[in-house]
Amino acid sequence: MDFAYTAYTEDKKLVRGKVSALSEEAATELLDICSVPEEDRCAVLDPRAYKRMLPDLRKLFIPRTIESVLRRGHMGDIDGLSVYRSQNVQTHTSGDYAGAVQVNGALTTGADTISLKTFTQAAPTVKAGDVFTVAASNRVNAVTYANQPELMQFVVEADKTGAANAIANVDIAPVVYDGSGATGVWQNVSAMPANNALVTFHGADNQDSLQNLVFHKNALALVIAPLEMPDEWGYTAQADGFAVRIVKQYDIDEDDEVIRCDVLFGVKAIYPELACRLTG
């Protein structure tokens, strides 16, 4: 599962350039704005981003943190985040888009696609994971539904190529609700994207960028199920929700003992609204 490509987060903050302590503050600020619980927040950073943050932290007068940074290169808990590093952070390649892009046809509440026009390219493309905003469509407070000063961020859910400087019916998330009719409880924008409204993509087109993750623990799930045991000798080891099946068999022809270990698991973004990406 490629979190940075297909597991959308409704509330993304793409910070261009180098990841620094300041940009991580922007990510936690976004989680706060979106009413994400303060406890059990994590950040998973690429080693490059992790190392680029260390100089900023060395400038702060926090004795224990500075000692940990200087001696072990370990950040620990910063700004309400448990910070980890991973070489498996995904890279996102943005689509081929440029120009003063506009909405091609007004959206109605409940829309999950959008049509775009006035690209510079004759055959523009958007990629799953591309993020954009639409002029005059602000996000709303997740609790009070009050209009917020930031534009709502939308993410493309599937690659698509257009023609004649336009792309029709781009799959997007989240589903767009303005609170009209019976959709009040689902409202997430102050106004629906209007025809000819300006569309701004976050980040340059045709660009590779690392997608660090900042999230609450309930945003993602790793599910492991115990496997059925065969008739041969076997054992299932279980601890803290993990289960590993170990099976042993003797090969009489080869005078060899074979041991096999299996894990049945699945990974899913079950509550993506509690996560955001930090590009850098």
For residue range 254-264, list pLDDT tens digits in order. 999 999 999 99
Q: For residue 14, what pLDDT is reported? A: 33
- Output the CA–CA distances (angstroms, integers) from residue 26 to 17, 33, 97, 134, 275, in the order listed: 13, 10, 26, 20, 13
Q: At 4, is the pLDDT very low, low, confident or very high (cuts 50, 70, 90)?
A: very low
Contact 211, 155 (CB under 8 A): no
The yes/no answer on whether domain 21-92+209-218+271-279 falls in CATH 2.60.40 is no
Is the bond preceding residue 149 a cis peptide, omega within 30 degrees? no
Q: For residue 50, what pLDDT is reported? A: 82
Checking if the pLDDT of 99 tops 60, the result is yes
- Counting residues of the chain whose pLDDT is more than 70, the rounded percentage is 83
Among residues 117, 280, 131, which one has the least CA distance to residue 205? 131
Q: For residue 83, what pLDDT is reported? A: 87
Q: For residue 59, what pLDDT is reported? A: 62
- Output the CA–CA distances (angstroms, integers) from residue 73 to 14, 58, 70, 84, 127, in the order listed: 25, 10, 6, 11, 35
Average pLDDT of 8-35?
Answer: 59
Q: Which position has the higher pLDDT, 233 or 20?
A: 233
Tell me which of 3.40.91, 2.30.30, 2.70.98, 2.40.30 is the CATH number of domain 95-206.
2.40.30
Checking if the pLDDT of 123 tops 60, the result is yes
Average pLDDT of 72-88?
Answer: 79
| Model pLDDT for residues 132-178, shown as the tens digit of each residue | 999 999 999 989 999 999 999 999 999 999 999 999 999 999 999 99
| Per-domain residue ranges of the chain | 21-92+209-218+271-279, 95-206, 228-262
CB burial class (10 A; 0-12, 13-18, 19+) of residue 145?
A: middle
Q: At 235, which amino acid appears? A: Y
| Model pLDDT for residues 165-218, shown as the tens digit of each residue | 999 999 999 999 999 988 889 999 999 999 999 999 998 999 999 999 999 999
Distance CA(74)–CA(83), nearest Å, equals 9
Average pLDDT of 83-96?
Answer: 92
Distance CA(225)–CA(239), nearest Å, equals 12
DSSP state of 216: E
Q: For residue 96, what pLDDT is reported? A: 97
Contact 153, 11 (CB under 8 A): yes
Among residues 143, 125, 174, 184, which one has the least CA distance to residue 275? 174
Q: For residue 134, what pLDDT is reported? A: 98
Residue 200 token pair: 């701004």
Query: Over the chain, what is the mean pLDDT?
Result: 86
Average pLDDT of 28-33?
Answer: 90
